[in-house]
Structure 1
Amino acid sequence: MINTTDNGAAPTPLLDRSDERVKHRQGISGSIEAFWDRVRSGDLGSLPVIVGLVIIWTVFQTLNPVFLAPNNLVNLLFDCSTVGIISLGIVCILMVGEIDLSVGSVSGFASAIVGVLWVNQGWPVGFAIITAMFFGAVIGMLYATLFNRFGMPSFVSTLAGLLAVLGLQLYLLGSTGSINLPYGSMLVDFGQTMVMPDIVAYALAAIAGLSIFVTGYRTAARRREAGLSSPSLGGLAFKAIAITVLLEAIAFYINRGDRGIPWMFGLFVGLAMAMNYALTRTQWGRMMHAVGGNREAARRAGINVRFIYTSAFVLCSIFAATGGVLAASRLASASQQAGTGDVNLNAIAAAVIGGTSLFGGRGSAYSALLGIIVIQSIASGLTLLDLSSSLRYMITGAVLAIAVIVDSLARRSRMSHGRA
């Protein structure tokens, strides 16, 4: 039997028996069986981070019942959004097997641009934000040029960029070192107090479940037309309903508190969904996976490898600038400390902990979402227990190490399974 890939690549032979066994799976039981087959073959997906998140929440809730209180979860969602958006850019750059060490500095530089142009120069806040994102794109383009034309390793170019952009940030802020953003402005309110009405949160949860079903149904239809195995309608419906019920329950629980789900977190989730669609449903996304998996093979297949690297670097810097603007709105200030500390490391760690491979070619936009929730859950739990921040660094480092080990073992399992 011959199998043809979704993107029209050369057909590859598969074993008749295993393909027919997968093809005729029906209903929920078939979906569960297919899931366990993927796990045994090393395709763990988000399973390790979800299990880890459940363990973390269980431990902290046992030690302090306030941890999962609605109001504390709202604060956690606010804190997740800024670094989480930066981590979306890290997912893009890791997908092609590269790294960007300057995202923290770029975010701080963007916040300084907004502060100087909006507060000091009197620009409209929208123009100031667009300018900050434009300079983020310019920085990403510079990295791409150094990589594509001069072959400079991304580790070196972005490390140099970290220092240079930090210098620009300090220069813009001048001797004062900080610029306070106006309280009561829409930007500051967006970062500190704006939450969704209850009905909007419930509607968005339902839309998310519906989109999962529609997307899965269209993919399954295309695979059936190509003669490939596909999940059953019952399995897709069960998955969509389960996710919708879970999201609705979370929205209901958080809305029981004094506030609700932050609009800033909604923006983060929306960007993650858009990036997931781009990475999984577009030709650009397929080329990203191909370049990350094997650059030379992608080049021989006719893919514009330089364009793919350029898009990854530019997107990474734009997301970093966006996260910096939101961080400034969260703190109501642009300061010399913005983007420093653990911002850089947390953004990278979130993508890796969430399941994006350091080896390139494998990852998901939802990695940033899951990973940053893990990191912020650790930070929030330790803060409630009034424990030293040193423990947060040690625990986060241990979780990161475990994530890399799991990724390495899964990669080895996939390779051995493929040879078998």
Structure 2
Amino acid sequence: MTTTAVREEGPAAVTPAPTVGSHVRNYWSRVRGGDLGSLPAVLGLIVLCAVFTTVRPVFFSERNFANLFTQGAAVTVIAMGLVFVLLLGEIDLSAGFASGVCAAILANVATVLGLPWYVAALAAIGTGVLIGFVLGFLVAKVGIPSFVVTLAGFLAFQGVVLLLMKEGTNISIEDDVLVAIENGKIPPAIGWLICALAVAGYAAVQLLRYRNRVRRGLVADPIAVVVARIAVLALVLGIAVYVLNRERSINALITSDKGMPIVVPVIAVLLVFWTFVLQRTTYGRHLYAVGGNREAARRAGIPVDRIRISAFVICSGMAAVGGIVAASQARSVDPNTGGSNVLLYAVGAAVIGGTSLFGGKGRVIDAVLGGAVVAVIINGMGLLNYSSGVKYIVTGVVLLLAAGVDALSRRRAAATGAR
């Protein structure tokens, strides 16, 4: 009789939790494999701020620091919407003048017709949504390339703005609420409260995610890394709020100018909302899937056409919000609102921040980081008294570098099998 020895198995092997060192090594491996994310934008922003502050210390003064937020707000908001279209590998060349059309609607409803600010704002955003639906329908259902459709919109919307503005009329924005979006300030105490709530909310999300992954036996980032992220956010926001809460008025006895611009929490709310939509909803996963491989998404049962239309709706809707912000900053609307370099800067902001022109890769935070880079370049070079021509050249070179980094990173990722 043959006796078979039975070996009792011990507890199931548990995957060891990653250490800080292994986390850093994994991150570096992803970077070497072409997954750069927003790293180039962050490094570029740090370098630019350091250079401009060294050459012109006034760059980091309280007054100029606040100017950076207000000057780049409209472009940043429009760039947020463009991220959704770029994720599909499409383009919207009409976003700039679409914001101008919506701003013109806002001015006519609020000032000419004298209706309340919320009616004017809803009319402007509704116009943007309608524009986005028409553009998306022509792209998704009719099959016209987005470049052609939005180029036609770029040309047509210039004419619409001229018609709405009576071929050159300047309409002032007189409503206090609309003007306050870009020109109003939040009391310092409220600014600190918003900062504390933002840090607490971010900490809660990070710690809850860590606990859920550990509870389910999934690989989670080391707790030290999670705490470090929270600490860095708290430090950055704390410094920003401290600087913004300092007095910026030349004569504080006559009028005070301190506090966070109202547009800052507006952009923060938009950032949180759209980040949640992209990263925590089925719609967001479908959007990435369509941008990564449209045919595979179709075969998986994803309503590709509806996703494509919705991306244009969001893009033009955010362009409308950008138009409202621009009208608030200028306290008026004219035929040039949304024109000139608005579109170029908005597309540049999204791409510089890390959103891929090839589709399938990008986040809303990319628009904010890219918008900050563009604002720093324009503001810093203005302080150095460079001409507009030099500003355009430098911004164009930075955009070309960002696109080049995107192309090279995708090639690297394909070579290493990361994508």
Shared fold (TM-score, shorter chain, > 0.5): yes
Deviations 1:360-419 (A, max 9, x none): 010010111010111111111111111101111000001001111111111112112227
Change (3 A) 1:22 1:350: farther
Aligned partners of 1:280, 1:180: CA distance in 2, in Å? Answer: 39
Change (3 A) 1:234 1:419: closer
1:41 matches 2:33: yes
The more displaced of 353-362 and 253-262 is 253-262
Change (3 A) 1:32 1:253: farther
Aligned partners of 1:112, 1:408: CA distance in 2, in Å? Answer: 38
Structure 1 residue aligned with 2:4: none
Task: Tell me the amino acid that sits aligned with residue 393 of structure 2.
Answer: M
Change (3 A) 1:298 1:55: same
1:122 is paired with a residue whose SS is coil
Structure 2 residue aligned with 1:13: none
Aligned partners of 1:106, 1:303: CA distance in 2, in Å? Answer: 29
How far is the alpha carbon of 1:349 from its aligned partner?
A: 0.4
The more displaced of 220-229 and 43-52 is 220-229
Aligned with residue 90 of structure 1, among 59, 79, 82: 82
1:204 matches 2:204: no
Aligned with residue 140 of structure 2, among 135, 148, 155: 148
Change (3 A) 1:203 1:35: farther
Aligned partners of 1:199, 1:22: CA distance in 2, in Å? Answer: 47
Aligned partners of 1:171, 1:22: CA distance in 2, in Å? Answer: 66
1:64 matches 2:63: no
2:72 is paired with a residue whose SS is helix
Aligned with residue 103 of structure 1, among 90, 95, 107: 95
Structure 1 residue aligned with 2:204: 214
**Preserved CA contact (<8 Å) 1:78 1:262:** yes
2:386 is paired with a residue whose SS is coil
How far is the alpha carbon of 1:221 from its aligned partner?
A: 4.5
The more displaced of 292-301 and 201-210 is 201-210
**Preserved CA contact (<8 Å) 2:352 2:398:** yes
Aligned with residue 186 of structure 1, among 177, 191, 197: 177
Deviations 1:41-78 (A, max 9, x none): 22111111111111111111122110111110101101
How far is the alpha carbon of 1:190 from its aligned partner?
A: 2.5
Deviations 1:122-175 (A, max 9, x none): 222211110111111111100111112110111111111111122111101114
Aligned partners of 1:34, 1:201: CA distance in 2, in Å? Answer: 37
Task: Tell me the amino acid that sits aligned with residue 196 of structure 2.
Answer: A
Structure 2 residue aligned with 1:299: 298
Change (3 A) 1:201 1:37: farther
Structure 2 residue aligned with 1:168: 160
Long gaps (5+) in structure 1:
1-19
Deviations 1:20-54 (A, max 9, x none): 9996313x434333322322222111111111111
Task: Tell me the amino acid that sits aligned with residue 239 of structure 1.
Answer: R
How far is the alpha carbon of 1:227 from its aligned partner?
A: 4.7
1:254 matches 2:247: no
**Preserved CA contact (<8 Å) 1:30 1:235:** no
1:237 matches 2:236: no
1:67 is paired with a residue whose SS is helix
How far is the alpha carbon of 1:83 from its aligned partner?
A: 1.2
**Preserved CA contact (<8 Å) 2:121 2:324:** yes
Aligned partners of 1:345, 1:23: CA distance in 2, in Å? Answer: 48
Change (3 A) 1:129 1:419: closer
Task: Tell me the amino acid that sits aligned with residue 46 of structure 1.
Answer: S
Aligned partners of 1:249, 1:188: CA distance in 2, in Å? Answer: 27
**Preserved CA contact (<8 Å) 2:56 2:383:** yes
Aligned partners of 2:14, 2:349: CA distance in 1, in Å? Answer: 37
Aligned partners of 1:151, 1:411: CA distance in 2, in Å? Answer: 27
1:371 matches 2:370: yes
Aligned partners of 1:242, 1:138: CA distance in 2, in Å? Answer: 41
1:282 matches 2:272: no
Structure 2 residue aligned with 1:320: 319
Name the Cα RMSD after superposition.
1.9
How far is the alpha carbon of 1:205 from its aligned partner?
A: 2.6
Structure 2 residue aligned with 1:405: 404
Task: Report the structure number with the largest CA radius of gyration.
Answer: 2
Aligned partners of 1:225, 1:416: CA distance in 2, in Å? Answer: 36
Deviations 1:221-242 (A, max 9, x none): 4544665422122321221122
The more displaced of 163-172 and 394-403 is 163-172
**Preserved CA contact (<8 Å) 2:33 2:418:** no
How far is the alpha carbon of 1:249 from its aligned partner?
A: 1.9
Q: Any runs of at least 4 consecutive aligned residues in structure 1 with deviations exceeding 4 A, and if so which? A: 20-23, 221-227
Long gaps (5+) in structure 2:
1-12, 249-257
